[in-house]
Amino acid sequence: MPKFAANLTMLFNELPFLERFAAAKAAGFSGVEYLFPYDFEKAVLREQLQQHGLTQVLHNLPAGDWSAGERGIAIFRDRVDEFREGVLRAIDYARALDCRQVNCLVGVAPADADEFELNEVLVTNLRFAADALAREKIRLLIEPINTIDVPGFFLHRTQQAVQLVADVRSDNLFIQYDIYHMQVMEGDIARTLQKYLARIAHVQLADNPGRNEPGTGEINYPFLFRYLDRIGYRGWIGCEYKPRTSTVEGLGWHAMQTMET
């Protein structure tokens, strides 16, 4: 039976952020994730989780200046110190929130950059982060993202993520597999999930095109949910989509899935 986590960055945007925890619980979710916790005090977030009986499933490492378009800093040689400070900050929050997974958004490559050098810096940074997080029993994830929505994003293919895992040589580095992003980039979702299941620690969803809720596009989510069960995926599925209307109005797919399982 899939375990669904509400992505509070994308869902329940009708409400102030701290009110989204209660809304997620009321809608039947048992876990939550969101991009970044750092704008809030750890105790405030922990109180929301405990009050509503929710599991903090995932958050990201600090990713640079988000409002300026940065989507991670792990590929930049001149920001290694900043990256390492961010790892320690992420650990501090993850410990407080009992969050056992942290995702690294690797960054957008400058048009004239040397890809070999960017990859070399990334491998070194991931090795540092994987080791630091392992000491706290927190998994490090990396996420391929499509280059239509985020032009120039350095990590944009499943096989590229698999190669990074091999290059880093850490038992604590895993893949965050976003079905929407990989449908845009490469398709063949079911076979890819099965092939790399041992290294996929977290799955996210949205339909395509539009990045809206399941059932609004081309992806056969009822099949994929059954398939994930069949191949033995036991992790969370993060609902990281843009509701077509309101969040609650778009949750029919979730209610149906809950009834079926």
Q: Are strands 236-239 and 3-7 parallel, antiparallel or unpaired?
A: parallel
Can you point out the beta strands (E) in the chain? 3-7, 31-33, 55-60, 101-104, 139-142, 173-178, 200-205, 236-239
* Predicted local confidence at residue 65, as pLDDT: 94
Beta bridge partners of 211: none
Percentages helix, strand, coil for the chain (3-state, rounded to 5) are: 45, 15, 40
The count of structural domains within the chain is 1
Please give the positions annotated as active site.
Answer: 143, 240
* Predicted local confidence at residue 38, as pLDDT: 98
Considering the chain, what is the average pLDDT of its residues?
A: 96
Domain with residue 254: its CATH number is: 3.20.20.150
The type of residue at 122 is L
Beta bridge partners of 237: 4, 203
**Tens digits of per-residue pLDDT, 119-151?**
999 999 999 999 999 999 999 999 999 999 999
State yes or no: pLDDT of 158 exceeds 70.
yes
Enter the tokens of residue 170.
């850490």
pLDDT band at 67 (very low <50, low <70, confident <90, very high): very high
3-state secondary structure of 72: coil
Residue 216: CA atoms inside 13 Å, Cβ hemisphere, count?
21
Q: Which among 109, 133, 167, 128 is positioned nearest to 58, based on CA atoms?
A: 133
- The CA–CA distances, whole Å, from 2 to 140, 231, 241 equal 21, 12, 17
Say how many Å lie between the first and final Cα of the chain, rounded. Answer: 6
State yes or no: pLDDT of 253 exceeds 70.
yes
Polymer length of the chain = 261
Tell me which residue range forms the domain holding 201.
3-260
Cβ neighbours around 53 below 10 Å, total: 9
